[in-house]
Chain A
């Protein structure tokens, strides 16, 4: 009975055809959607970056050659925005990864009870709306009567601490969201808050892949946890660190939500909170310079590529060096 059915399958031309075509049909939605919503906008952006256009249907698109790129690359606003974006990236990226490595290491030691609870708690900010949380932080940072200022005013009353605070230039109450010295650290903290958990999970997974024998050997030799961290965990984790840092770089270069909410669309005092993504957004949607905005997008893309390659080189593992 079964054999007969199998024979029928081979004879039936529809069956043969549908078996051949099936995989292509199954995977086609992605390629169709990508052509329309992914590839076309990117190519059109490239075309647009060599033209001027106000985006109003019916108005002429005018070819201007490299003018948009020239405009963007000689615009001090672009360079200020790039500087701000990179500084916020460093201020939030470095602490984020140090904390994540540390937490992952602790969680991986094996003595921590209810590991799932800690993992979930630390990861939670990643799934929350950046806008909603930035709004909470904007109250938290408010001046002069805000939660953070309250804490710092209290700390400032402790004799030893007050001189330490003034040494780092912190004289509470601080206007965190309007004092150019503190705006970038303030927005950076919200980013650290949001992404430390994500990186912790990545590093934890990377650490779990490290061979137990290495730890075993170190333990037999009487190594304590700081030695184990710096001599075994960190070197073995290098490929994962490289990957996680690159993800951070790509994300940070497009930072938009948090600074927009904390400082408004103009980037606050002295535009100290004005990122590239905000510049692009304003150029296109507030000022209607669509060609110029497209050139900003491509220049930013080039910077993302360059910084990614530099990061990759700086954090290469030993195998790659050889």
Chain B
């Protein structure tokens, strides 16, 4: 066991070194003149402002009363109505319950996919078995099925199961997602040397123990990235949630916010408080983990 631990430590260090040594390539084109630089930077800056502005606008509107929101000139800075907006929000929606539903479903989706996808990825990456390529290609092909195709019978099925209005209707189907398995298979192929398998077997590990005690510690960063991606996807999911969740107490945040909008007098200040709570936690996570999240989300597209 001790020998194995040292091996893993070495591997981790090697991985780390590889990451640290990767340098930025030389500039491809010499953009020397300040004028060209200015004109190349300008669209980037403008688009960044366009990207960020709605978030700022959301925060500002969350602090504005109903009359202030549509006043001219339009609000660009905070006002004092945040608390009263929050009270309206709580008055019209079981908001904290909705927030909890969103969190619970996203957390379950995230945990289950971290387990099942790492296990599946491990199966595909480290074993040779009959039908492997066929099974793998089939799995990849299922990624091309548009979700719209099955939504109607999916709802019917859920009503037969009695799963309408339940969180598991939303987190179970994607728990062993094809994309996640693919992602972690790639990760395992690049991070885990095949020799490790035999070494662990000689040490007396069962196959599951190899996964759990040897491989999982090495692929933690990849599994973490997948967990984040699953969380984000589930948190933002709208159409399936809209179809499955029919009672206000079972709504997730997007569905709750949408139901609020349908009310006769749409209270936008209160909606913006809710929207802010729906959006900013993810933005904060993204601010710290943007590299992992971006590479996790785009890897499938880039290797495929």
Contacts and interface: CB of A to CB of B under 8 A. Distances in A.
Contacts of B173: 33, 36-38
Nearest to A283: B152
A146 B142 contact: no
Contacts of A301: 146, 148-149
A245 interface: no
B239 A277 contact: yes
Nearest to A24: B129
Interface of A: 2, 5-6, 9, 15, 18-20, 22-27, 29-34, 36-38, 40-42, 44-45, 48, 55, 57, 99, 102-103, 106-112, 115-116, 118-133, 135-140, 142, 145-147, 150, 193, 196-198, 201-202, 205-206, 208, 212, 215, 219, 224-225, 228, 243-244, 247, 250, 253-254, 256-257, 260-261, 264, 277, 280-281, 284-285, 290, 293-294, 297-298, 300-301, 304
A138 B268 CA distance: 10
10 contacts: A18-B206, A30-B178, A118-B44, A124-B286, A127-B282, A131-B257, A140-B57, A261-B258, A281-B239, A298-B149
Contacts of B268: 135, 139
A290 B152 contact: yes
Interface in B122-181: 122-124, 127, 129, 132, 135, 139, 142, 144-157, 159-160, 172-178, 181
B175 A29 contact: yes
Contacts of B74: 145-147, 150
Nearest to B52: A121
Interface in B202-249: 202-204, 206-208, 211, 232, 235-236, 238-239, 242-243
Contacts of B72: 145, 150
A146 B271 CA distance: 17
Given A33-B173, A145-B74, A205-B298, A257 B50 contact: no
Given A132-B254, A202-B301, A196 B29 contact: no
Contacts of A137: 54
B300 to A, nearest CB: 10
A36 B160 CA distance: 13
Contact of B51 (A107, A125, A264): A125
Nearest to B58: A136
Given A55-B156, A135-B275, A301-B146, A22 B127 contact: yes
Given A18-B207, A26-B211, A139 B120 contact: no
Interface residues of B, number: 107
Interface of B: 24-31, 36-37, 40-41, 43-44, 47-48, 50-52, 54-55, 57-58, 61, 69-74, 116, 119-120, 122-124, 127, 129, 132, 135, 139, 142, 144-157, 159-160, 172-178, 181, 201-204, 206-208, 211, 232, 235-236, 238-239, 242-243, 253-254, 257-258, 261-262, 268, 271-272, 274-275, 278-279, 282-283, 286-287, 290-291, 293-294, 297-298, 301-302, 304
Contact of B44 (A106, A110, A124, A215): A106
A261 B261 contact: yes
B160 A40 contact: no
Contact of A135 (B154, B176, B232, B257): B257
Contacts of B47: 99, 103, 122, 196
B202 A41 contact: no
State the 4 A-B residue pairs at the shortest beta-carbon distance, nearest first.
A110-B27, A26-B123, A41-B150, A22-B207
Given A139-B69, A228-B28, A284-B151, 8 more contacts: A26-B122, A103-B47, A110-B27, A124-B52, A135-B272, A254-B146, A281-B243, A304-B146
A128 B282 contact: yes
A18 B201 CA distance: 12
B19 to A, nearest CB: 14
Contacts of A118: 44, 48
Contact of B48 (A121, A256, A290, A304): A121
Contacts of B70: 142, 145-146
B235 to A, nearest CB: 7
B251 to A, nearest CB: 12
Contact of A132 (B202, B208, B257): B257
B298 A215 contact: no
A164 B279 CA distance: 37
A311 B130 CA distance: 36
A27 B120 contact: yes
Given A29-B119, A123-B294, A197-B51, A277 B148 contact: yes
A280 B152 contact: yes
A26 B152 CA distance: 30
A30 B290 contact: no
Given A135-B275, A284-B155, A29 B29 contact: no
A284 B154 CA distance: 12
A228 B271 CA distance: 47
B43 A110 contact: no
B28 A44 contact: no
A154 to B, nearest CB: 9
